[in-house]
Structure formats: C-alpha cells, structure tokens
Structure 1
Amino acid sequence: MIRSLRVGLLGGALLLGLAAAAEAHSPYLLPTVFDASDRKVVMVQGSFTESFFTPEVAMKSDAYAVIGPDGARVPLKPIYLNEVALVEAPVERPGTYRITSGQRAGRVAKAAKVAGEWRFFEDGKAPPDAIDMQSMTLAEVYVSRGAPNDAALAPIGKGLEFHPITHPSKIATGQDAVFEVLFDGHPLAGQPITLSAADDRYADAKVAPRTVTSDAKGRFAVKVGRSGIYQIQTRYRVAPAGQPAQSFTYALTFESLR
C-alpha cells in the first residue's frame, strides 16, 4: 500500500514572520508520500500552522537536508512561497530517509511567563520581568523506499530531538509508538510532548492536542486510535551562561496505518 497524502496548498491568513508568530504556531514538514516505493523524489512542504496540516507561514531555513539510508546528509534547496516552503528530496536507494529543516535560529526577542506559560512580546510591549530569548526550531519527517532501515534514525546529538525506538515507517494504529526525547544527546525526563491529528478541521468538535510525558529515561509512547497523519512536538528552554535564553521546539510528522 502506498502511504500517501497529497499536499493541499489551502491558504490560511498570511501572518507576519515575527518570533511571536513562530512561537504561537506549530512547525511541521509534510511529504507527498511516506512510502516512496514508487518514486525517486519526494516533495516536502515546510510551514507553521495553527491547524494541521494547513500551511500559514513558510518555514525558512538555510539548513534543509535529507539524511539517507547510509547516514549521509545532503543539503536541499527550498523554494519559498508566502505560506509554505517546498523541497524535493531524492530517494533513489532503498531504505529510510530523514528529511529535516535543520536547526533554525530565530531572532532574539523579549519573553516572559504569563499564567505559567512563556510568551514572546514585540518591542516595547514586554513586561518588566521579560528576558532575552531566541527561538530555535527543528522539524523532521521520515519516509522509506522499500524495506526501512535504521541509519537515518541515529541521534544528531545537538539540540532538541526525538530518537525513534519504534521505526517511524512501522507505526501502526492501536499500538504504542515509542520515542526518546533528547537534548544535546542526553535524555530529558518529565518532558511534555503534544500529539496532534491532521484532520481537526473536519471534526465535529475541535480535538485538543493530547499530552504525554517522558519517563525517567526520556522515553514516551503515543498510541493513535485511527489511521492518519500526526504531529508530535515538544519545547525545551535553556539559559546558557552569558547568552540569551533559548526556546527549542522540535516537531516530527508521522503516518499511522492499520
């Protein structure tokens, strides 16, 4: 079965590319297919959205790349539209490919906790206790051609990322998909992860993202009750000595089939 989703370029409202907008919206990468057995190139869209998977703000990055079945990283050149970035990833050899936006460093902005949640503020509108914080975003997706393999799943070891324990091309509806959340290669315990579904626009009532928490070893499991496209995401904030604080966001898109 070809695991596919045709990319619809349905427009959301065009938003300003401010740090506040990027923080409020969720990043994602979405391929035309997850099973690339019948093709040699996969097109992937990168965007920020408030409704999966309708693009709203194009995800710009100088580090788009694909990590192939041999573990080699190859840069990709994006095409930018207002609401979406498009890249084409070559998938000529059998195995699993990791398509990534690369680490995106946003501008430094003022941020403060409001009702227990961090928020970014435009210049001149920040409260007195606000601090300088830079947004760091990384979005990824895995596709496979033929039998999946594990080389592309190896942790990068820098920044925030999910290391798949369950192969992303083998995620099945009604079964646990297990990952570990890492920061600079080390497990993060007690880290909240949100799970969002692709078709919330068509639901009778909007379904809020589900949240799970990583265990003492940084592992967490998600289980979906129906086949479809999903996004899992987490945020982690650090304050390096002598530097602005950093707000890391990592997002992974996957497909689940019966």
Structure 2
Amino acid sequence: MNNYLKLALLASAITLGSVGAQAHRQWLLPSATVLSGTDAWVTVDGAVSNDLFYFEHFPLELDGLSVLAPDGKAAAVQNQAKGRYRSTFDVKLDQPGTYKMMVLNQGVFANYKLDGQNKRWRGKAEQVATEIPANATDVKISETQGRIEIFVTSGKPSSDTFKPTGIGLEMVPVTHPNNLMAGEKATFRMVLDGQPAAGLPIEIVPGGIRYRDKLNDFKATTDESGTFTVTWPGPGMYWMNASIEDSKSKIKDAKRRAAYTTTVEVLPQ
C-alpha cells in the first residue's frame, strides 16, 4: 500500500469514524477499568489500527486529550508519550468514583478556488471568516466534531462525569459502563448537541479481530429518546462507534460530521 493510500484511509477514519471490515479504527484502551486502593493508577494506550486492540498502523494523536475526575474537575495526565504505533499516558486515580478520559478532535476543513487555483485550508471554526478570502469561489466547508472516550472507576462508581457538554455526539450511560456483564443487557443514550439522537446506528465490535476469521460485529439503533440496548455475547473489550452527518454546523453553508467512539470492558458472570 503506497503512502498516499495510507493517508487517505487514515483521514477517512478520523473524519467519518469509518467502521467497515477493513477500516482503520481509532481507540483508547485502559490497562484496567475498575480499580481499588489509595494508590491506583491506570495506563491508557491510544492507536489507529485495523485490528482491535493491536498496534500496527498509527499512534492516536493526543492533542485534544483531557481527563475529568469524579468531582468534575480536570485530572492530571502524566507520562504522556508518542511512539511509532501507539500513544500512551498515565492517570493517578486519587479520588473515589468514575473518571472520563477523552480525546476531542474538532476542526474545520475547506476547499475553495482563488484566482482559478484550488486551495485547501484547515483550522478552527472561529477562523473561517478571516482565513478564507472574501473573493474565494466554489467554497466547500465541513466541520468535524469527533469524540473518543473511556470510563475508569476507582472504588465506588459515580455518574457525575456522565453529564453531556451539549457539543456534538455524546454517550450518556444508563447502565454504568464499568458494570457490564456477559449475557446481560446494558442501556445507553446518545445525544447530539445535548438532544436525543434518534435513529442513530451504532456499531459494536469485540476486540481480538486479529485472532479470528470474522469481524463478529453487530449493530444497534437508537430509539426516539436516543436510547439503545446491548446484550453482550461474551466477556472482553468492545469498541462502539456512531457517526452522523448533517447541516447543523454554526458555520454558514457548512456540513457537520460528528462521531463518537468508546471502549468498554465486559466481565464474565
């Protein structure tokens, strides 16, 4: 595969949250999802790969990384590093409750013509008015709102970190994401800009793709309240993804692509 094709596939995965059988998937993977004790730490790996959860393509960019502690305040990220195939960071869980760790990818892409020449631009939404020339023609603008997140609990689970920000596509757990059991049903709710995301397809893929012949993915669809349910077929780590394209960007005449990805652990009964 040449470098141009590799870059094209990566861009497609980042922008659209692609979920095909051979798609490059973005993910975060914690060393543990439930911990106890007064000196608990978690190490998180991040990558973009074909095989979940195997490092073989690109490290996940962590420019938009943040961690929300159980009390709603930002928690410190330590030992952040970027390797050839993966990125990694540590978080000390110095509070009891559930942490939300997330990587946000928000930006604007534009294609236009200026004096007969094709131009491309990438930046932030607030820069569009000043960065794209007023005499530009054939302007096409797309806004990306991507969110990759995981939940990790120290001691007793909490739910304060579940509150949505109201920006883009988000998951609001009904069943606690650190209390998932094989064979049991779990319920989640998807919201778009804080409102129920109805009719949204969800793709769910169990890890370990590298060691089986079939993807073994399955799908769910949100109802009118944005809610969907999953009955876990077995224990392990699962990747869940949803994406949507609409015209609700705050930028005039722009398309908006919103994507959400999470990794959850399902334990045996």
Contact 2:143-2:256 within 8 A present in 1 as well: yes
Structure 1 residue 79: Cα displacement? 1.8
Q: Structure 1 residues 160, 75: CA separation in 2 closer, same or farther (over 3 Å shift)?
A: farther
Task: Find the aligned partners of 1:135 and 1:61 in 2 and give their Cα distance.
Answer: 16
Task: Find the aligned partners of 1:157 and 1:21 in 2 and give their Cα distance.
Answer: 23
2:210 aligned counterpart, secondary structure: helix
2:66 corresponds to which residue? 65
Task: Find the aligned partners of 2:200 and 2:87 in 1 and give their Cα distance.
Answer: 29
Q: 4+ runs of 1 displaced by more than 6 Å?
A: none
Give the TM-score, by structure 1 length. 0.79
Contact 1:43-1:89 within 8 A present in 2 as well: yes
1:233 corresponds to which residue? 241
Structure 2: stretches of 5+ with no match in the other structure: 19-23, 112-119, 121-138
Worse-superposed segment, 150-159 or 71-80 = 71-80
Identify which of 152, 158, 163 aligns with 1:154: 163
2:173 corresponds to which residue? 164
Identify which of 240, 251, 254 aligns with 2:261: 251
**Larger gyration radius, structure 1 or structure 2:** 2
Contact 1:107-1:134 within 8 A present in 2 as well: yes
Matched, 1:29 2:39: no
Structure 1 residue 19: Cα displacement? 2.0
2:94 corresponds to which residue? 92
| RMSD over aligned Cα atoms | 2.5
Structure 1 residue 21: Cα displacement? 4.9
Task: Find the aligned partners of 2:217 and 2:7 in 1 and give their Cα distance.
Answer: 25
Q: Structure 1 residues 238, 76: CA separation in 2 closer, same or farther (over 3 Å shift)?
A: farther
Q: Deviations over 1:131-188 (max 9, x none)?
A: 5434432111111111111111222221111100000111111111100001111011
Contact 1:19-1:135 within 8 A present in 2 as well: no
Task: Find the aligned partners of 2:257 and 2:158 in 1 and give their Cα distance.
Answer: 32
Structure 1 residue 105: Cα displacement? 2.5
Identify which of 1, 9, 20 aligns with 2:12: 20
Q: Deviations over 1:90-144 (max 9, x none)?
A: 211211111111x21256267xxxxxxxxxxxx8xxxxxx954344321111111
Contact 1:34-1:144 within 8 A present in 2 as well: yes
Contact 1:26-1:49 within 8 A present in 2 as well: yes
Contact 1:136-1:247 within 8 A present in 2 as well: yes
2:12 aligned counterpart, secondary structure: helix
Paired-residue identity, %: 28
Contact 2:62-2:87 within 8 A present in 1 as well: no
Task: Find the aligned partners of 2:150 and 2:13 in 1 and give their Cα distance.
Answer: 22
Q: Structure 1 residues 107, 45: CA separation in 2 closer, same or farther (over 3 Å shift)?
A: farther
Structure 1: stretches of 5+ with no match in the other structure: 1-13, 111-122, 124-129
Contact 1:15-1:21 within 8 A present in 2 as well: no
Contact 1:197-1:228 within 8 A present in 2 as well: yes
Which AA in structure 1 matches 2:165?
I
Mapping for residues 1-258 of structure 1, pairs under 5 Å: 15-16=6-7, 19-22=11-14, 23=16, 24=18, 25-38=24-37, 39-55=39-55, 56-74=57-75, 76=77, 78-101=80-103, 103-105=104-106, 108=109, 132-203=141-212, 205-239=213-247, 240=249, 241-257=251-267, 258=269
Structure number with the higher strand fraction is: 2
Give the TM-score, by structure 2 length. 0.76
Which AA in structure 2 matches 1:16?
L
Task: Find the aligned partners of 1:243 and 1:47 in 2 and give their Cα distance.
Answer: 33
Task: Find the aligned partners of 1:40 and 1:182 in 2 and give their Cα distance.
Answer: 32
Structure 1 residue 200: Cα displacement? 1.9
